[in-house]
Copies of this chain bind each other. A is one copy, B any other.
Amino acid sequence: MVISPTEENYLKAIYHLQALSEVVSTTHLAQKLQTKPASVTDMMKKLQAKNLLHYTPYHGFSLSAEGRKTALHIVRRHRLWEYFLAEKLSFEWNEVHEVAEELEHIGNKKLIEKLDAYLGFPQFDPHGDPIPDSRGRMQQPELVPLSTAPIAFTGVLQLVTDQSKDLLEHLASRKLRIGTRLELRSRSAFDGSVDIKMGSKTLTLTRQLANHLLLKQI
């Protein structure tokens, strides 16, 4: 079956929104894709006709098994390219998403399998998100938000859940990267901000930021 780049973007967006709630609404998706609800409705009819979607008018939609499988392929391509851009072309981690957003639509199967092998079958992209394998399976390590970890917790930064430019630049300026080892020293009872130790340095992060930083225990 032929799936256009636009349809791919829709499927991927639904996949991501389903992490928040199993069934997705028209407005929510329109907002995510920077488009209008009327356009979403049109596309939902098309994707349903292709059996990629379960759709009940006025009551939202969710991916079918096949739609989910397709979405995972796109996520795989996106994250492999992000890894390539960061690792091989030395892009900053806040620049990779935009370029990968285009590269992900090149569907040649051999290309992706060879790219994966060339990169050494990476498990995580530069933001710490897991990369699905060719069958759509991926690692899901136990992660603890820095905002709720117990005092003295030691781990490595594994995943950043808000990947906005602002947040990524904030982290970059403090040399906090995926894989950075850190220890939680204290949490303010006043505002929830946390002090962490990172190598020999100590720094303070707001609760709002700490909430988006997920750690893997070591």
Q: Is A7 an interface residue (CB 8 A)?
A: no
Q: Is A111 an interface residue (CB 8 A)?
A: yes
Q: Is A90 an interface residue (CB 8 A)?
A: yes
* Closest beta carbon of chain B to A42's beta carbon, Å: 21
* Closest beta carbon of chain B to A8's beta carbon, Å: 13
Which A-B residue pairs are the 7 nearest by beta carbons? Answer: A89-B114, A102-B106, A99-B108, A99-B111, A89-B118, A88-B118, A103-B106
Query: How far is B90's CA from A89's CA once the two chains are assembled, in angstroms?
Result: 18
Binary contact track A177-202/B, C-beta < 8 Å → 1, others 0 = 00000000000000000000000000
**Measuring CB to CB, which residues of chain A are less than 8 angstroms from any residue of chain B?**
85, 88-91, 95, 98-99, 102-103, 106, 108, 110-111, 114-115, 118
Query: How far is B89's CA from A102's CA once the two chains are assembled, in angstroms?
Result: 20
Interface of A is mostly: helix
A102 cross-chain contacts in B, Cβ below 8 A = 106, 108
* Closest beta carbon of chain B to A187's beta carbon, Å: 39
A85 cross-chain contacts in B, Cβ below 8 A = 111
Query: How far is B100's CA from A108's CA once the two chains are assembled, in angstroms?
Result: 11
A90 cross-chain contacts in B, Cβ below 8 A = 114
A110 cross-chain contacts in B, Cβ below 8 A = 91, 95
A85's nearest neighbour on chain B, judged by CB, is B111
Query: How far is B99's CA from A91's CA once the two chains are assembled, in angstroms?
Result: 23
Query: How far is B96's CA from A114's CA once the two chains are assembled, in angstroms?
Result: 12
* Closest beta carbon of chain B to A9's beta carbon, Å: 15
A99 cross-chain contacts in B, Cβ below 8 A = 106, 108, 111
